[in-house]
């Protein structure tokens, strides 16, 4: 792997909890010596992409990453387009709604609307990777990858058994993803948390590709069959509206 590739892997590592890592952890993660990792980190520090805490000596992402993220969001117009849709779904349903994105081999929530004490009301939910075998948004985004890519992802991915209902067998997951594509949505029923269910529908861009989705999470107690039907329609309508708006964006 090139130095550029290793540098990118370092940045991705720093984007995962606990978001701060020491030199030894970073070097081991990118399979290189401490000296080589230190040199890469030194370059990233000089460009303000990475910052080293002077007291702990651990590294974390720098302000340049925030600026680049905002540039991407403005280029795609995602926040501007998604905000009124998320707000409407949240207001009508009373539940947490969010837009998730696909990044290479992982899914993560990018924008959300929720009550302060609601499900996923805390801010570190944003940007946090969701397992490919649990959590509606990760499941629907993974399902719309090419089949060979999905097999490769599952072979390399951590597939944690988050609850007794979580599927961890790659073969059965492939069947589940095929079902998701056929239905056009996913209802995740307590595979991520025994207290919650979640729904997700794909958002298609102007090229017919799926790299984002709309999701809703609710407590099991509130998730009656009637409400699930209503929530699913809200998400489908919102995804259709967002897809239409994306037709006119880059």
**What CATH number does residue 32 fall under?**
1.10.10.10
**CA-based torsion, 99, 100, 102, 108: positive or negative:** positive
CA atoms within 13 A on the CB side of 137: 31
**Which tokens is 47 given?**
């460009």
Q: Residue 207 domain-assigned?
A: yes
Residue 72, domain member (yes or no): no
pLDDT at 138: 95
Bond from prior residue into 18 cis (ω within 30 degrees of 0):
yes
Q: Does residue 204 sit in the same domain as residue 103?
A: yes
Together in a domain, 88 and 38? no
Q: Which of 43, 66, 89 is the last residue of a domain?
A: 66
Same domain, 43 and 151: no
pTM of the model: 0.76
Are 138 and 181 in the same domain?
yes
**What CATH number did the domain enclosing 142 receive?**
3.30.450.40
**What is the domain extent for residue 87?**
77-246
Q: Three-state SS for 201?
A: strand
Burial class of residue 215 in the structure, from the number of CB atoms within 10 Å of its CB (0-12 exposed, 13-18 middle, 19+ buried): buried
Q: Are residues 19 and 93 in the same domain?
A: no
Within this chain, do residues 100 and 224 fall inside the same structural domain, yes or no?
A: yes
Residue 122 pLDDT greater than 60, yes or no: no
> Are 173 and 133 contacting, i.e. CB atoms less than 8 angstroms apart?
yes
Number of C-beta neighbours around residue 6 at 10 A: 18
Q: Predicted confidence band at 160 (pLDDT cuts at 50, 70, 90)?
A: very high
> Are 156 and 184 within one domain?
yes
For 67-111, write each residue's pLDDT tens digit.
777 666 665 667 788 999 999 999 999 999 999 999 888 898 988
Which of 66, 88, 104 lies at the terminal end of a domain, its last residue? 66
How confident is the model over 32-44, as a mean pLDDT? Answer: 89
Task: State the chain's mean pLDDT as an integer.
Answer: 88
User: Are 114 and 27 found together in one domain?
Assistant: no
* In contact, 30 and 18? CB cutoff 8 Å: no
Overall domain count for the chain: 2
Same domain, 124 and 200: yes
**DSSP for residue 135:** S
Determine, yes or no, domain membership for 71.
Answer: no
Chain segment 178-226, per-residue pLDDT in tens: 999 999 999 999 999 999 999 999 999 888 899 999 999 999 999 999 9
Does residue 62 sit in the same domain as residue 87? no
- The Cβ-side half-sphere exposure at 210, using a 13 Å CA radius, reads 23
% the chain with pLDDT above 90: 53
End-of-domain residue from the set 19, 39, 66: 66
For the record, the structure tokens of 189 come out as 């029923």
């Amino acid at each position: 792997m090139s130095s550029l590739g290793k540098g990118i892997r370092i940045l991705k590592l720093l984007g995962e909890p606990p978001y701060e890592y020491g030199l030894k952890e970073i070097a081991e993660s990118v399979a290189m010596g401490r000296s080589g990792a230190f040199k890469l980190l030194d370059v990233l520090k000089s460009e303000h992409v990475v910052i080293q805490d002077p007291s702990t000596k651990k590294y974390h992402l720098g302000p340049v990453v925030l600026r680049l993220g905002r540039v991407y969001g403005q280029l795609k117009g995602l926040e501007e387009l998604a905000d009124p849709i998320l707000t409407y779904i949240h207001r009508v349903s009373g539940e947490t709604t969010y837009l998730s994105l696909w990044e290479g081999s992982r899914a993560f929530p990018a924008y959300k609307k929720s009550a302060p004490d609601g499900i996923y009301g805390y801010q570190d939910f944003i940007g946090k990777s969701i397992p490919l075998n649990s959590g509606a948004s990760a499941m629907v985004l993974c399902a719309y990858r090419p089949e060979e890519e999905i097999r490769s992802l599952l072979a390399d991915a951590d597939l944690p058994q988050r609850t007794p209902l979580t599927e961890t067998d790659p073969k059965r997951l492939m069947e589940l993803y095929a079902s998701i594509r056929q239905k056009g949505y996913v209802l995740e029923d307590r595979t991520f948390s025994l207290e919650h269910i979640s729904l997700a529908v794909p958002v298609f861009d102007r090229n017919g590709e799926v790299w984002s989705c709309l999701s809703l999470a609710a407590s099991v107690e509130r998730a009656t069959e009637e409400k699930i039907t209503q929530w699913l329609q809200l998400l489908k309508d919102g995804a259709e509206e967002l897809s239409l708006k994306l037709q006119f964006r880059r």
